[in-house]
């Protein structure tokens, strides 16, 4: 299949920034649901054994976790319509226990699913163009991107266009369905990287060149887990037309040379580490030269057609500063505080991008109830062109809100417990499900996140501390990105007892760095005290306007270690 | 003397099961039958037969102790599995015995 037939143009114009499936897509996912319905029936009747059925259920996002089946639904590049959000709320209410959990891969998971219900759930979701395909297995997973794509004032290229092209290219790609291991791609189009591209198998930075031509800087071999690596630069500038050819070449080289003999060495980061980035580049260039041609050339007309689907919504012409917003800020300190942490500057004068924090004090990071999902859907319809984003930091975003509407939006968010003024602050903790749900976990993460967030319940304190990211994983798989937190917390099993290794100084931005271990692992009951001590030292020692990372870089890890373990450390 | 129970996952709904008296699968650990090291062998064999009969999946043994409130798994993982997630008391299987600081 060549690129021209592989990448199809959208058929319907609708909400802002939503790619709508065409009849072919709908027919395909409906057929897929029916196939899975039959597979489940055969499993329940005993015609299929668990060994035979397991790969089939995983291909449809259905895992078996600690307490029940868990279903992971794909949210392509974290973007969904209000209608889709209502469908997610419906699934939570009808088939789960009234909750959904938004993940660091911009997807959603349900923790209490019955096998016998799974086909009906997928059928309900297929009716709104959603599915669970490629949310598991050794294939190319959901392509992730900046949650403020198409809205951020600092954006250079809208990454959604290319994320959608990559989604189509990678979906059921016959050659890449059985890779040595799972494969994650992230793309950003801004100077400031909010998509954590350095810690993905392939990280892409879309850039603008002479005459407005779009090209891509490509990084390869990033990843967290047992052996964390930051991506290495593979190419400075890949022209738009060659993007798919280049990625195809990278995946082919990985498919051929990636280690299938050892699951712990099977990710592309190990291949990059073992052969070196220069040799890998040679191999990719050789492969690209071999396959280069019309088959893999990205047709500018197709790009343009997809780009039109992400055209800006019908913004009103507004002054850059809203008097109504300024007045509300002056009159209500709580609202003013929320606007300081939860708004991101918008490229369109008079608008703002709003982060809806799913991290209330003492809450479960990333969890939303059915009622909250429906409330967000209604608010998206009213204030943000019916569109919602999921961030890899486990929050939701209304990307295009009039500044004039912010006071009303904030009040309504408050009615649903969605007005936490802590986006990017110490209470905005990334946490994986950990041992409370995950069958692979060593230790709990959610209750520790809740504990830490209660310690910092005072929002004025959080704002005084300033931006600070705590990231927590319940095992070395690092779903909670602990390696790249200002403060990272990793759950470790020590003879059946939960202990935690603490790191500091990590970041997933354009200055990506892996955190450094502070000292010996600590017990469950000590973690919140340790975090408080680390933050206290930062407040004592920081210079004017200095971030946590800058303070760690300036004074080193030792003072933090002494603060936690005593001067003899 | 070491004590064990047999656990599994119900195929149809994914719910946790414990092997109780008379080889009946029970939803709560409180109703599980404890076995010593010799007794667990035929119990696991029964579990294997139940897998073949496509009623349950993932049969394995869990070491437990007798606590004042009843049987109590030794590892944190198995305690969470037996008593429910510690972060949603309303989803707890047996709140009185969880003791995990909910
Ligand atoms: S990091 Fe480990 S415990 Fe957490 S969700 Fe991933 S696999 Fe599970």
Q: Does A496 touch chain B (CB under 8 A)?
A: yes
Shared domain for A387 and A335, answered yes or no, is yes
Residues B13, A114: C-beta atoms closer than 8 Å: yes
Residue A54 lies in a domain: yes
Per-domain residue ranges for chain B?
3-90
Beta bridge partners of A109: A72, A101
Instruction: Identify which of A433, A439, A500 to mutate to test ligand 1's pocket (most ligand atoms within 8 A of the CB).
Output: A433
Given a cut of 60, is residue A13 above it in pLDDT? no
Q: What is the pLDDT of residue A17?
A: 72
DSSP secondary structure of chain B: --EEEEEEEETTT--EEEE-GGG-EESSGGGPPPB-TTTHHHHHHHHHHHHHTTSEEEEEEEEEEEETTEEEESSHHHHHHHH--TT-GGG-S-HHHH-S--
Residue B96 confidence class, pLDDT cut points 50, 70, 90: very low
Give distance in angstroms: CA of A479 to centre of ligand 1: 5
Kindly report the CATH number assigned to the domain that includes residue A269. Answer: 3.30.413.10
- Tokens 């005993």 correspond to A46
In angstroms, the CA A273 to CA A281 distance is: 12
Identify whether residues A258 and A404 lie together within a single domain. no
Same domain? A305 vs A261: yes
Task: Assign A569 a pLDDT band (cuts: 50, 70, 90).
Answer: low
In Å, how far from its chain's centre is CA A207? 21
Instruction: Kindly state the tokens that stand for A526.
Output: 């000590």
Give me chain B's average pLDDT, please.
Answer: 91
Q: Does residue A433 have its Cβ closer than 6 Å to ligand 1?
A: yes
- Using a CB-CB cut-off of 8 Å, the residues of chain A touching B78 are none
pLDDT at A11: 42
**Ligand 1 centroid vs A317 CA: distance in angstroms?**
46
Interacting residues of A394 by C-beta distance below 8 A, sequence separation 6+: A102, A103, A104, A358, A359, A365, A366, A430, A431
Q: Is residue A363 part of a domain?
A: yes
A397 sits in which H/E element: strand A396-402
DSSP run (H or E) holding A352: strand A351-356
Q: What Cα–Cα distance (Å) separates residue A444 from each residue in A60, B28, B62?
A: 27, 22, 19
Which whole-number Å values give the CA distances from A555 to A37, A397, A535, A541, B90, in the listed order? Answer: 59, 36, 14, 8, 46
Same-domain status, A386 and A439: no
Higher pLDDT, A7 or A425: A425
- Among A residues 247-306, those touching chain B with beta carbons less than 8 Å apart: none
Region at A406 (left for phi over 0; alpha for psi -120 to 50; beta for the rest): alpha
CB contact under 8 A, A46 and B53: yes
Give the model's confidence band at B89: pLDDT under 50 very low, under 70 low, under 90 confident, else very high.
Answer: confident
| E-only strand ranges, chain B | 3-10, 16-19, 25-26, 56-67, 70-73
A5 inside domain: no
CB A551 within 8 A of CB A544: no
> Which tens digit of pLDDT belongs to each residue from A240-274?
999 999 999 999 999 999 999 999 999 999 999 99
User: Where residue A74 falls among pLDDT bands split at 50, 70, 90?
Assistant: very high
Asked if residue A407 and residue A438 are part of one domain, the reply reads no
Residue A202 half-sphere exposure, CB side, CA atoms within 13 Å? 26
Residue A212 lies in a domain: yes
| pLDDT higher than threshold 90 for residue A360 | yes
Do residues B83 and B91 touch, judged by C-beta distance below 8 A? no
Q: Average pLDDT in the A502-528 region?
A: 97
What is the domain count for chain A? 4
Order the strands of the A202-208 sheet from edge to edge: A144-145, A185-188, A202-208, A214-220, A232-239
**Tally of CA atoms within 13 A in the half-sphere of B60 that contains its CB:** 5
Together in a domain, A401 and A438: no
A82-95 and A118-126 helices, crossing angle to 10°: 160
Given this model, what pLDDT does residue B100 score? 46
Q: Cβ separation of B13 and A443 shorter than 8 Å?
A: no
Tell if the CB–CB gap between B76 and A114 is shorter than 8 Å. no
pLDDT score of A162 more than 80: yes
- Residue length of chain B: 102
A49 CB within 8 Å of a chain B CB: yes
Q: What is the pLDDT of residue A5?
A: 43
Which pLDDT value is given to residue A9? 47
Is the pLDDT confidence value at A517 over 50? yes
Q: What is the CATH number of the domain that holds A38?
A: 3.90.480.20
Q: Is A473 in the pocket of ligand 1 (CB under 6 A)?
A: yes
Same domain, A64 and A173: no
Per-residue pLDDT tens over the stretch A409-448: 999 999 999 999 999 999 999 999 999 999 999 999 999 9
Closest to A168 in 3D by CA, of A13, A309, A14: A309
Determine, yes or no, domain membership for A358: yes
Q: What's the pLDDT band for A44 if we cut at 50, 70, 90?
A: very high
Looking at A71, A100, A126, the residue that finishes a domain is: A126
Residue A3 is assigned to a structural domain of this protein = no
Task: Tell me how far apart the alpha carbons of residues A27 and A10 are, in angstroms, rounded to a whole number.
Answer: 15
Alpha carbons B19 and B27: distance in angstroms, whole number: 9
Whole-model pTM: value is 0.95
Q: Which atom of ligand 1 is nearest to the CA of A442?
A: 3
Closest CA to A409 of A366, A388, A380, A387: A380
- B4, β-bridge pairs: B35, B63
Q: Summarize pLDDT for A263-308 with one digit per residue, the tens.
A: 999 999 999 999 999 999 999 999 999 999 999 999 999 999 999 9
Tell me the C-alpha distance between A462 and A468, whole Å.
9
Of A183-187, A325-329, A468-472, A491-495, give the lowest mean pLDDT range.
Answer: A491-495
What is the H or E stretch that residue A487 is in? strand A487-494
The arithmetic mean of pLDDT across residues A501-527, rounded, is 97
Is there a contact between A443 and A486 (Cβ–Cβ < 8 Å)?
no
- Token pair for A566: 């005593």
pLDDT tens-digit map of A465-480: 999 999 999 999 999 9
Which residues of chain B have a CB within 8 Å of the CB of A67? 14-16, 81, 84-85
Q: Which of A126, A150, A171 is the last residue of a domain?
A: A126
B47 touches chain A (CB under 8 A): no
**Mean residue pLDDT across chain A:** 95
Where does the pLDDT of residue A20 fall: very low under 50, low under 70, confident under 90, or very high at 90 and above?
A: confident
Range of the domain at A485: 430-565
- Cα(A158)–Cα(A150) distance, rounded to whole angstroms? 5
Mean pLDDT of B54-81: 95
Average pLDDT on A341-350 reads 98
Q: Which of A273, A86, A76, A247 is nearest to A161 (CA)?
A: A76
Backbone dihedral angles phi then psi of residue A167, each to the nearest 5 degrees = -60, -45
Q: Does B15 touch chain A (CB under 8 A)?
A: yes
Cα(A478) to centroid of ligand 1, in Å? 6
* Extended strands (E) in A68-227: 69-73, 79-81, 99-102, 108-113, 144-145, 185-188, 202-208, 214-220
Last residue of a domain, one of A103, A126, A149: A126
Phi, psi (rounded to 5 degrees) for A327: -65, -45
Strand partners, A343: A354
Do A296 and A328 have their domain in common?
no
Q: How far is CA A508 from the centre of its chain?
A: 12
The yes-or-no verdict on residue A380 having pLDDT over 90 is yes
Strands in A43-91 per DSSP E:
62-64, 69-73, 79-81
| Residue A52 included in any domain | yes
């Amino acid at each position: 299949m060549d690129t021209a037939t592989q990448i199809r143009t959208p058929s319907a114009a609708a909400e802002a920034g939503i790619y709508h499936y065409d009849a072919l897509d709908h027919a395909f996912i409906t057929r897929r649901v029916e196939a899975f319905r039959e597979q489940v029936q055969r499993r329940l009747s005993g015609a299929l054994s668990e060994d035979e059925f397991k790969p089939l259920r995983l291909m449809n996002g259905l895992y078996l976790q600690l307490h029940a089946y868990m279903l992971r639904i794909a949210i392509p590049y974290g973007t969904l319509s209000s209608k889709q959000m209502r469908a997610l709320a419906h699934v939570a209410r009808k088939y789960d226990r009234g909750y959904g959990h938004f993940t660091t891969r911009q997807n959603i998971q349900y923790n209490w699913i019955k096998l016998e219900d799974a086909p009906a759930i997928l059928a309900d979701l297929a009716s709104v163009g959603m599915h669970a395909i490629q949310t598991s297995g050794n294939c190319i997973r959901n392509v992730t991107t900046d949650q403020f794509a198409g809205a951020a004032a600092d954006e250079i290229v809208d990454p959604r266009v290319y994320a959608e092209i990559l989604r189509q290219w990678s979906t059921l790609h016959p050659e890449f369905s059985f890779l040595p291991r799972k494969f994650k791609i992230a793309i950003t189009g801004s100077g400031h990287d909010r998509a954590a591209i350095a810690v993905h198998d392939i990280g892409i930075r879309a850039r603008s060149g002479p005459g407005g031509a779009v090209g891509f800087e490509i990084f390869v071999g990033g990843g967290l887990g047992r052996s964390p690596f930051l991506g290495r630069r593979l190419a400075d500038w890949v022209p738009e037309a060659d993007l798919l050819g280049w990625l195809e070449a990278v995946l082919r080289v990985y498919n051929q040379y990636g280690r299938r003999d050892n699951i712990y060495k099977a990710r592309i980061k190990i291949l990059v580490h073992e052969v070196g980035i220069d040799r890998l580049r040679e191999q990719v260039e050789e492969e690209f030269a071999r396959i280069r041609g019309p088959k893999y050339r990205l047709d500018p007309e197709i790009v343009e057609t997809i780009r039109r689907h992400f055209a800006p919504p019908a913004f009103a012409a507004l002054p850059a500063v809203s008097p109504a917003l300024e007045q509300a800020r002056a009159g209500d300190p709580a609202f003013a505080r929320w606007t300081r942490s939860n708004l991101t500057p918008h490229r369109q004068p008079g608008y703002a991008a709003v982060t809806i924090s799913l991290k209330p004090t003492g809450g479960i990071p990333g969890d939303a109830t059915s009622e909250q999902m429906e409330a967000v859907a209604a608010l998206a319809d009213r204030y943000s062109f019916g569109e919602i984003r999921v961030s890899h930091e486990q929050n939701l975003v209304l990307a295009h809100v009039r500044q004039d509407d912010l006071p009303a939006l904030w009040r309504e968010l408050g009615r649903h417990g969605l007005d936490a003024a802590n986006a990017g602050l110490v209470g905005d903790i990334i946490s994986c499900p950990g041992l409370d749900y995950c069958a692979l976990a060593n230790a709990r993460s959610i209750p520790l996140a809740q504990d830490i967030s209660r310690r910092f319940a005072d929002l004025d304190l959080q704002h005084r501390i300033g931006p600070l990211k705590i990231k927590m994983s319940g095992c070395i798989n690092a779903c909670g990105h602990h390696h790249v937190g200002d403060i990272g917390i990793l759950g470790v099993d020590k003879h059946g007892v939960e202990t935690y290794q603490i790191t500091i100084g990590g970041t997933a931005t354009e200055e990506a760095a892996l955190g450094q271990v502070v000292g010996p692992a600590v017990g469950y009951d000590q973690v919140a005290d340790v975090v408080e001590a680390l933050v206290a030292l930062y407040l004592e020692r920081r210079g004017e306007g200095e971030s946590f990372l800058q303070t760690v870089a300036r004074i080193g890890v030792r003072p933090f270690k002494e603060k936690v373990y005593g001067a003899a450390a | 003397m070491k004590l064990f129970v047999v656990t599994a996952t119900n195929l149809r709904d994914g719910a946790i099961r414990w092997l109780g008296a008379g080889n009946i699968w029970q939803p709560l650990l409180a109703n599980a039958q404890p076995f010593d090291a010799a007794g667990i062998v035929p119990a696991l064999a029964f579990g294997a037969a139940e897998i073949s009969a496509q009623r349950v999946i993932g049969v394995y043994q869990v070491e437990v102790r007798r606590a004042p409130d009843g049987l109590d798994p030794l590892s944190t993982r198995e305690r969470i599995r037996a008593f429910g997630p510690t972060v949603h008391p309303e989803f707890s299987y047996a709140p009185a015995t969880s003791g995990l600081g909910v």
